[in-house]
């Protein structure tokens, strides 16, 4: 299951906070902030999807992520590779390195990461 753009934005705030009440989540947004009812609706949908849970303290709920950021984006990227690059990581890497404005330094850093992964296998 996937998050909508709005849900992803809220989830990013929750990942940064690690846990938070509604007021904490609203404060994490830049101005103009969304309406509390909007955030409440997003949290309800994300809870129903299994991405978020909460602990109840009186009438307040403290929300926390059930899914780690790395796991979510790893699944996202793997789906992208499968759906748009014929399940070929090399086609994805080729596209990524050619179509993004990476500097020579960034490309060299990527090469070091890849070389290290090769060495570790």
The 10s digit of each residue's pLDDT in 20-66 is: 999 999 999 999 999 999 999 999 999 999 999 999 999 999 999 99
Confidence bin at 76 (pLDDT 50/70/90) = confident
Confidence bin at 1 (pLDDT 50/70/90) = confident
- What is the Cα–Cα distance from 69 to 66, expressed in whole angstroms? 10
Confidence bin at 90 (pLDDT 50/70/90) = confident
Q: What is the pTM for the complete model shown?
A: 0.75
Among the listed residues 68, 7, 70, the one whose alpha carbon sits nearest the alpha carbon of residue 43: 7
Strands, E assignment, the chain: 20-21, 52-57, 60-65
End-to-end CA distance of the chain: 31
Q: Give the residue extent of every domain in the chain.
A: 5-65, 69-120
Confidence bin at 96 (pLDDT 50/70/90) = confident
Q: In what order do the strands lie in the sheet with 20-21?
A: 20-21, 60-65, 52-57
Q: Which fold has domain 5-65?
A: Arc Repressor Mutant, subunit A (1.10.10)
Mean pLDDT of 66-90: 87
């Amino acid at each position: 299951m996937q998050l909508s753009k709005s849900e992803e934005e809220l989830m990013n705030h929750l990942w940064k906070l690690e846990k938070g009440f509604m007021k904490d989540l609203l404060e994490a947004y830049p101005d103009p902030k969304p309406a509390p009812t909007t955030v409440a609706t997003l949290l309800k949908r994300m809870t129903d999807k299994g991405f978020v849970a909460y602990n109840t303290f009186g009438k307040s709920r403290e929300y926390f992520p059930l899914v780690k950021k790395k796991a979510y984006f790893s699944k996202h990227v793997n789906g992208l590779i499968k759906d748009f690059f014929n399940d070929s990581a090399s086609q994805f890497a080729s596209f990524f390195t050619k179509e993004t404005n990476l500097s020579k330094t960034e490309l060299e850093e990527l090469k070091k990461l890849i070389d290290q992964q090769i060495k570790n296998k």
